[in-house]
């Protein structure tokens, strides 16, 4: 937990028990959870937790670059504490979102097109390796 305390302090985010818990959950669960999933899970340990706090904390972490929103699902947002650029696969069989670590060669081309690119997002829809294997 010392690790997350340090992260918050370095970013100048006021430390609270809820923020530590949410940050820890995101760092140890790279399953791209929704706000509700975070809430449900942490509520088990901290029954007083409110969904408002989950949303507030998500926004705070996002503003400080500790969190990204993953737009693979049009009906709820999912969150990802892995902030290095990578892509995602939404599996139509199990519904999970899997990280895809591949190079993205687009940035340079885009600059040539006259636009300025700040973020590159990619996502795929298909069936993940595990589901294809019949597990």
Partner DNA sequence: TTGTCTGCAAACGTTTTGCACGACC
Partner DNA sequence: GGTCGTGCAAAACGTTTGCAGACAA
Partner interacting with residue 40 (select from a copy of itself, DNA, none; CB below 5-8 Å by kind): none
Minimum separation from the CB atom of position 122 to a copy of itself (A): 5
* DSSP 8-state assignment for residue 83: -
Does 125 engage in binding with a copy of itself (CB under 8 A)?
yes
**Measured distance CA(118)–CA(121) in Å, rounded:** 10
**Measured distance CA(58)–CA(62) in Å, rounded:** 6
Q: Which helix (H) or strand (E) holds 87?
A: strand 87-91
Does 30 engage in binding with a copy of itself (CB under 8 A)?
no
In terms of CB distance, is 22 or 91 closer to a copy of itself? 91
Angle value at C-alpha 30, between 27 and 34, nearest 5 degrees: 100
Structure tokens at 19: 């923020």
In terms of CB distance, is 23 or 90 closer to a copy of itself? 90
- Give the C-alpha distances (Å, rounded to integers) separating 63 from 60, 66, 67, 68, 126: 5, 8, 8, 9, 31
Among 41, 48, 12, 10, CA closest to 24: 41
Member of 13, 35, 40, 72 binding a copy of itself (CB under 8 A): 72
Partner interacting with residue 98 (select from DNA, a copy of itself, none; CB below 5-8 Å by kind): a copy of itself
Does 44 engage in binding with DNA (CB under 7 A)?
no
Q: What residues line the site for DNA (CB under 7 A)?
A: 13-19, 34-36, 46, 48-53, 55-57, 59-60, 74-77
Q: What residues line the site for a copy of itself (CB under 8 A)?
A: 69, 71-74, 77, 87, 89, 91-92, 98, 100, 102, 105-106, 109-110, 113-129, 132
């Amino acid at each position: 937990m010392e690790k997350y305390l340090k992260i918050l302090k370095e970013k100048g985010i006021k430390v609270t028990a809820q923020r530590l818990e949410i940050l820890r959950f995101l760092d140890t669960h790279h399953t791209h959870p929704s706000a509700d999933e975070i809430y449900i899970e942490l509520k088990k340990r901290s029954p007083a937790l409110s969904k408002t706090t989950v949303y507030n904390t998500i926004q705070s972490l996002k503003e400080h670059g500790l969190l990204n929103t993953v737009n693979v699902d049009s009906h709820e947002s999912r969150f990802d504490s892995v902030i290095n650029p990578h892509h995602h696969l939404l599996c139509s069989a199990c519904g999970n979102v899997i990280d895809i670590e591949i190079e993205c060669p687009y940035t340079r081309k885009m600059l040539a097109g006259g636009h300025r690119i700040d973020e590159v997002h990619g996502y795929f829809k298909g069936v993940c390796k595990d589901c294809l294997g019949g597990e």
